[in-house]
Structure 1
Amino acid sequence: MTTWWPYARLAASVLAVAAIVAQLVRSIDVARSAETEYGQHMPTVIANFFSFFTIESNVLAAVALASGGIWALRQKDRTLVEPRWLAVLLVCASTYMIVTGVVYNTLLRGIPLPQGATVPWSNEVLHVFVPIIMLIDVLVAPRRRALGWGAVGIAAIFPIVWVVYTLIRANLVIAPATGNPYWYPYPFLDPHQPGGYGAVTLYVLLIAAIIIGAAAGVVWIGRKRGTRPAVAA
């Protein structure tokens, strides 16, 4: 595992980047063929693309996997555990990707998407393959560092910022696909859906609980599997 897992991390990182780029290219192509001015507004299209929690989480996962793979290949001493910054980065990326996989496959998989707007293989990579890889990384990756429980709080920061950003920005942009004077990346965040802000609040609280629970689980496994060096690496 110590010898080949860094290569698996690097390969998964490359695949994640390829899937992100493929979907971005498709989204831009769809926008170029739009018949309305708001549908062809590239700054909004690109900003919307990178406003999806899935995309942001996969970008972070690609960075974390590449960083972990490169660090492991450069450090020949196999008794040396990963540095704290890498351990925290992996906890965050693993947490977000595990939650992405759970939320997508339980809440979003059955939602129909515009024909031709999604790259099927990219969609599966971003919502299934990378979450599984990150879960495997939590369970079997060698040279893990045991972190304190404060890492759970660190992992919760970005999702909180993302929700606030999303709810503020949503009413400041025109949805390229529909022309609605608002754009929400996911239906469960849209207060214009049945249930209004009450339903949105419940979904946010539910997902927050899932994120905190996932982060706690990732940290707990790391504390069981990893070591806490006496001197920081």
Structure 2
Amino acid sequence: MSSTAPAAASATAASLSRRLLLVGRAVIAVAILAAVIGQLVTSLGFWADRGDPDIGQNLVNFFSFFTIESNLLAMVVLGILVAAQLGRPRIGRRFDVLLLCASTYMVVTGLVYNTLLRGIELPQGSTLGWSNEVLHLIAPLWMLIDWLVSPRRRDLQWRDLGVVAIFPLVWLAYTLLRAPLVDDTFASGRAYWYPYPFLNPENHANGYGGVAIMCVVVAAVVLLGGAILIAYARWRARRLEPVGAPAA
């Protein structure tokens, strides 16, 4: 048996793996776009049917969901990965950090939704079933799988956890400052709007104290998730091809 046979088989398997990643990334990016548009169209119809007087405010609310924002970021990142696999652009350490952020946010989105929010109707209009599953289950699972199996070595440092924390903290500040100023009386009879029940002080026995505890828990989950992804990436980095190799 030729000594080149195992090497050829290994190269063929690697090529097939990269092709599957390319197709998977493209499919999930398109699925996310379709899911966001589908839910938006469904919500617009729902708001119009009930005679909502402020569609503009509802649109801002829609794009204020962490789920929507994290999925849109994941869609962009997956698009860049697909383009990189096709030859452009070249990606490096800054992109690795962006990918870390997107993957962490998506994993946290999946965890929080499926442990705390599944079965609860979120205030974004009538929920579109398949879109809900794509945004909260399928896409988060893909981002985790992609991180675990990607053949490209990620150039990440522990200090990158600080970058991961920036957006969730800004989002929490924005949400908690904006929510009491949004008049949702027409839709819910309340003079405020919180995207998720656990951020509403009325849902906690000790009001904003309960909200603060939940914020700390979510922040801890984000940091822990990011730390696990970094640890895994650094472990694989010692076993995979150098940064800058063609595989993305």
TM-score (norm 2): 0.84
**CA RMSD for the aligned pairs?**
2.4
**Residues 83 and 232, structure 1, Cα contact 8 Å, conserved in 2:** no
> Secondary structure of 1:74's partner?
coil
Aligned to 1:6: 22
* Rounded Cα–Cα distance in structure 2 between residues aligned with 1:106 and 1:230: 36
Distance in 1 (CA, whole Å) between partners of 2:77 and 2:153 is: 13
Q: Which residue of 1 aligns with 2:38?
A: 22
1:12-161 matches, cutoff 5 A = 12-35=28-51, 39-74=52-87, 82-112=91-121, 117-161=126-170
Alpha-carbon separation, structure 1, partners of 2:227 and 2:168? 15
Task: Write out per-residue CA displacement over residues 137-157 of structure 1, whole angstroms, 9 at most, x where no aligned residue.
Answer: 110012132311121110110
Q: Does 1:210 align with 2:192?
A: no
The DSSP-based 3-state class of the residue aligned with 1:2 is helix
1:106-147 deviation per Cα after TM superposition (whole angstroms, max 9, x unaligned): 000132458x70000000000000010000011001213231
Structure 1 or 2, whichever has the larger Rg, is: 2
Q: Which amino acid aligns with 2:117?
A: L
CA contact (8 A) 1:19 1:122 kept: yes
Distance of 2:245 and 2:160 partners within structure 1: 16
Cα distance, 1:59 vs. partner?
0.4
CA offsets per residue over residues 192-219 of structure 1, 9 Å max, x none? 2232111111111111000000001111
What residue is the counterpart of 1:180 in the other structure? 190
Residues in 1 aligned to 2:108 and 2:86: alpha-carbon distance in whole angstroms: 29
Decide whether the 8 Å contact of 2:156 with 2:230 is kept in 1: yes
Q: Distance in 1 between matches of 2:34 and 2:243?
A: 39
Distance 2:189 2:42 in 1: 20
Runs of 4+ in 1 over 6 A off after TM superposition: 230-233
Gaps of 5+ in 1: none
Task: Write the distance in 1 (CA, Å) between the matches of 2:158 and 2:245.
Answer: 17
Letter in 2 for 1:145: R
Does the Cα contact within 8 Å between 2:153 and 2:242 map onto a contact in 1? no
The Cα shift of 1:225 comes to: 1.7
More helix by percentage? 2
Percent identity between the two aligned chains: 47
Q: What is the TM-score with the length of structure 1 in the denominator?
A: 0.90
Number of corresponding residues: 226
Secondary structure of the structure 1 residue equivalent to 2:203 = coil
